[in-house]
Amino acid sequence: MASQAKPQILSYINRLLYFFLILFLSIHVASGAGGTWKLLLNNVGISAMHSQLLINDRVIMYDRSNFGPSKISLPNGTCRDSPNDSVSKRDCTAHSIEYDVALNRVRPLTVQSNTWCSSGGVTPDGTLLQTGGDKDGERKARLFYPCDDNSCDWSEIDNALNVKRWYASNHVLPDGRQIVVGGRDEFNFEFFPKTNAPNTYSLRFLSETNDLDQENNLYPNVFLNTDGNLFIFANNRAILLDYSKNTVVKTYPKIPGGEPRSYPSTGSAVLLPIKNLEAEVVELEVLVCGGAPKGSYLFALNENTFVKALDTCARIKINDANPKWVLEKMPRPRIMGDMIVLPNGQVLLINGGSSGSAGWELGREPVLNPDLYHPDKPIGSRFQVQNPSTIPRMYHSTATLLRDGRILVGGSNPHEFYNFTGVLFPTELRLEAFSPSYLESQYRNIRPRIMSPSLHSTVNYGGILRLRFRVLGGVKSPVKVTMVFPSFTTHSYSMSQRLLVLDHVTSLRIGQWSYEVRVKTPRSTNLAPPGYYMVFVVNQDIPSEGIWVRLQ
> What residues contact residue 254 under an 8 Å CB cut-off, 6+ apart?
236, 237, 325
Model pLDDT, residue 269: 98
Which long-range contacts (C-beta less than 8 Å, at least 24 apart) are formed by 96-99? 96/46, 96/60, 96/61, 96/62, 96/63, 96/154, 97/44, 97/45, 97/46, 97/60, 97/61, 97/62, 97/72, 98/58, 98/59, 98/60, 99/44, 99/58, 99/59, 99/60, 99/61, 99/408, 99/431
491 in Cβ contact with 169 (< 8 Å): no
Helix (H, G, I), strand (E, B) or coil at 13: helix
This prediction's pTM? 0.93
What value, to the nearest 5°, has the Cα angle with vertex 30 and ends 25 and 31? 100
CA distance 65 to 116: 7
CA distance 76 to 471: 47
> What residues contact residue 349 under an 8 Å CB cut-off, 6+ apart?
268, 289, 290, 330, 334, 337, 338, 339, 370, 371, 372, 373
Model pLDDT, residue 195: 79
- Tens of pLDDT, residue by residue, the chain (552 residues): 333 333 333 333 333 333 333 333 333 332 236 999 999 999 999 999 999 999 999 999 999 988 889 999 998 889 988 787 778 789 999 999 999 999 999 999 999 999 999 999 999 999 999 999 999 999 999 999 999 999 999 999 999 999 999 999 999 999 999 999 999 999 999 999 987 778 899 999 999 999 999 999 999 999 999 999 999 999 999 999 999 999 999 999 999 999 999 999 999 999 999 999 999 889 999 999 999 999 999 999 999 999 999 999 999 999 999 999 999 999 999 999 999 999 999 999 999 999 999 999 999 999 999 999 999 999 999 999 999 999 999 999 999 999 999 999 999 999 999 999 999 999 999 999 999 999 999 999 999 999 999 989 999 999 999 999 999 998 988 899 999 999 999 999 999 999 999 999 988 999 889 999 999 999 999 999 999 999 999 999 999 999 999 999
Model pLDDT, residue 477: 82
285 in Cβ contact with 315 (< 8 Å): yes
End-to-end CA distance of the chain: 87
Report CA-CA distances (Å) from 328 to 34, 317, 387, 458: 22, 15, 22, 40
Residues 71, 74, 77, 83: what is their CA dihedral angle, to the nearest 10 degrees? -90
119 in Cβ contact with 488 (< 8 Å): yes
Model pLDDT, residue 30: 28
Model pLDDT, residue 434: 98
Model pLDDT, residue 33: 62
189 in Cβ contact with 179 (< 8 Å): yes
Model pLDDT, residue 14: 37
